[in-house]
Amino acid sequence: MRLRIAKKETAGGWRAAAIRIISVLVALLFSGLIMAAMGFDPIAAYLAIAKGSFGSARGLINTVTVAIPLLIVALGLSISFSMRFWNIGGEGQMVMGAIFATYAAHQLPETTPAVLYWVTMALAAMIGGGLYALIPGLFRAYSGTNETLFTLMLNYVAIKVAVFLRLVLWKDPAAKGFPQIKAIPEAAHLPKIFGVHIGWIIALVVTVFVAIYLKYTKRGYETRVVGESERTAHYAGINVRRVLVGGVALSGAIVGLAGFAKLSGVSHVLSESIGGGNGFSAVIVAWLAQLNAPVMILIALLFAAMEQGAMGMELALKIPVSVSDVIKGLILFSALASEFFISYHVVIEKGPRALLRQYRRSGRKELQADTPEGEDQA
């Protein structure tokens, strides 16, 4: 017996959906086994996750709050990804956005009306994130630099810039020697609607924008063509460099907006941890959603629920929160595996021995050597 991997011609809708759902179930099954091996009841654990994340008003508010920056970053990154520009720099772009927004907030006079605060900070954050993404974008467009490493490394640069600002340049003298940046003024805080800061409205608006931009605009179409093949795009008369640079800047600007939403909505104080790992988790969110903007809402909420539910799980059953990281990892792993099974299938081919056995059983005297292997099975 021999296994062969063959590319499928089409990935059928139902089949693909079924494979994806099965993959998540398999991940949950394995996580359950791990939890059982640790001596915890997996069913109770999953119920605790569901209850902790969606089971109460507070849980739901927390889940949505966690999902907001994650979703915005994923949406921003998806524009880069649809051009096959591997932007792993979401964390840094988000931090830069927050840095610019903080700067803007402290430049405005204290009497500035709230709306003006939000607009200025949001614009500043978009400029910050956009400019920061532009650096690897320009390098990639004009000298073919590998953007994966470039954007990844720029994360650490942005984080260190924030550390520098906190320790030296923007150290708040009123903080009794504690090195921290002055909080943004009260008027700059985002208000809450339905218990969650209005970043959720920003996130939904951005979702609609990205969905329309990528699917229905000329620039979005060009973006996708560049993603399919830069050469094709070039022959079709698309200015590849302009599309690439513009797309990356837009991508970074949206990610920067997430920095504003988190700063203004929750943190109120800039610190190097404002990214909170969203830049990395969002890569997974964007890909699991197949770069489909509305689906990203769902995936971001699921990831947020997992994080939030993990706390509920620890509270109810004293299971360490790190177990949720294991589950997240397994889901990602299964999701990647499911993409493989959607695009390829495994063919079991008959090896020479099996053919020989078949030949003996059939009682025939001659071995038909010219029969292609396993043709009747494929």
Partner 1 sequence: MRIRKILTLALAMMLVLGLVAGCAQSSATTTAAAGETTTAAAAETTTAAAAPAEKIKVGVIYISPKNDGGWSQAHADGFAAAVAAVGADKIDLKEIENVNDADAQQTETALNQLVADGCQIVFATSFGYMETTAKVASENPDVKFEHCSGYMSADNFANYFAQIEQPRFLAGIVAGRMTKSNTIGYVAAMQIPEVYRGINAFTLGVRSVNPDAVVKVTWTNTWFNPQLEKEAAISLIDSGADVLAQHQDSTAVQQAAQEKGVFGIGYDNPMYSEAIKDAYLTAPVFKWGAYYEQRLAAMLDSSWTTGAYWGGMNDGVVALDTMTALVPADVQTEVNALVDTMKAKGNDFVFAGPINDNTGAERVAAGSSLSADDQFAMDWFVEGVVEAK
Site residues (CB under 8 A) for partner 1? 13-14, 16-17, 52, 54, 56-62, 64-66, 69, 163, 167, 176-179, 183, 194-196, 262, 266-269, 271-274, 276, 292, 294-295, 297-298, 301, 308, 311-312, 314-315, 318, 320-322
- Please, what is the minimum distance in Å from the beta carbon of residue 236 to partner 1? 24
Angle between helix 114-143 and helix 90-107 axes, rounded to 10 deg: 140
- Please, what is the minimum distance in Å from the beta carbon of residue 234 to partner 1? 28
- The number of beta carbons lying within 10 Å of the beta carbon of residue 322 is 9
Q: Per-residue DSSP letters for 310-342? A: HHHHHHHH---THHHHHHHHHHHHHHHHHHHHH
Between 97 and 137, name the residue whose CB sits nearer to partner 1.
97
- Please, what is the minimum distance in Å from the beta carbon of residue 170 to partner 1? 14
Q: How far apart are CA 319 and CA 7, in angstroms?
A: 42
By the 8 A CB rule, do 64 and 194 touch?
Answer: no
Between 66 and 127, name the residue whose CB sits nearer to partner 1.
66
By the 8 A CB rule, do 256 and 262 touch?
Answer: no
- Please, what is the minimum distance in Å from the beta carbon of residue 297 to partner 1? 6
Pairing state of beta strands 344-349 and 2-7? antiparallel
Nearest alpha-carbon partner for 322 in 334, 332, 310: 310
Between 193 and 336, name the residue whose CB sits nearer to partner 1.
193
By the 8 A CB rule, do 182 and 170 touch?
Answer: yes
Task: Quote the DSSP letter at residue 6.
Answer: E
- Please, what is the minimum distance in Å from the beta carbon of residue 282 to partner 1? 15
- Please, what is the minimum distance in Å from the beta carbon of residue 100 to partner 1? 18
Between 290 and 358, name the residue whose CB sits nearer to partner 1.
290
